[in-house]
Amino acid sequence: MPDKPDLSRELSRMEAEPLLDIEKKLVAGSLILGVLLLVILGWLASWIGRGV
C-alpha cells in the first residue's frame, strides 16, 4: 500500500484525466433526477400538509 507521503506528493502533482462520456452522463442524470424528485417531494409535502 502506498504510504501517505507518496500519496501526498501524488495529490500535489496529479495530472488531469479527461471526463469520459459516462461520467458526464452520470453527473447530468443524477442532477436532473435529483431536481425532479425534489420538486415532486416538495409538492407532496405541501399537498399532504406538514403534519402538525
Partner 1 sequence: MPAVEAPRSAPTSDAAGAARVAAPVPGMLASEDWWSVWLGLGVFLLSIGVLVGVDLLGWAAKSQVWLSPASSVIPVSPAYASVPSVVSILATYVFLLVATSIGAKFLGAAVARFAASFTVVYWVSYGCWVSGHFAYIAATPDKLGALGIGWSMNLTGEAGFVLALVAGLLVGNVFPRGAAWLAVAARPEWYIKTAIVIMGAALGVKAAEATGLAGAVVFRGLCAIVEAYLIYWALVYYIARRYFGFSREWAAPLAAGVSICGVSAAIAVGAAIRARPAVPIMVSSLVVIFAVVELLLLPFVAQTFLYREPMVAGAWMGLAVKTDGAAVASGAMVDALIRAKALAVQGVEYKEGWMLMAATTTKMFIDVFIGVWALVLAIVWCTRIDRRPGERIGFASVWDRFPKFVLGYVTTFVVLLAICVWRPDLRAAGGLASEEGTSFRVLLFAMTFFTIGLASNFKKLREEGIVRLAAVYVVSLFGFIIWIGLFISWIFFRGITPPIVGG
Question: Can you give the binding site for partner 1, defined by CB under 8 A?
Answer: 1-5, 7-17, 19-20, 22-23, 26-28, 30-31, 33-35, 37-38, 41-42, 44-45, 48, 50-52
Task: Output the smallest distance, CB 35 to partner 1, in A.
Answer: 7
Q: Residue 22 Cβ, how far from partner 1 at the closest point, in Å?
A: 4
**Measuring CA to CA, which residue among 35, 31, 39, 33 is closest to residue 47?**
39
**What is the C-alpha separation between 27 and 34, in angstroms, rounded?**
10
CB of 18 to partner 1, least distance (A): 9
Other C-beta atoms lying within 10 Å of the C-beta of residue 32 = 10
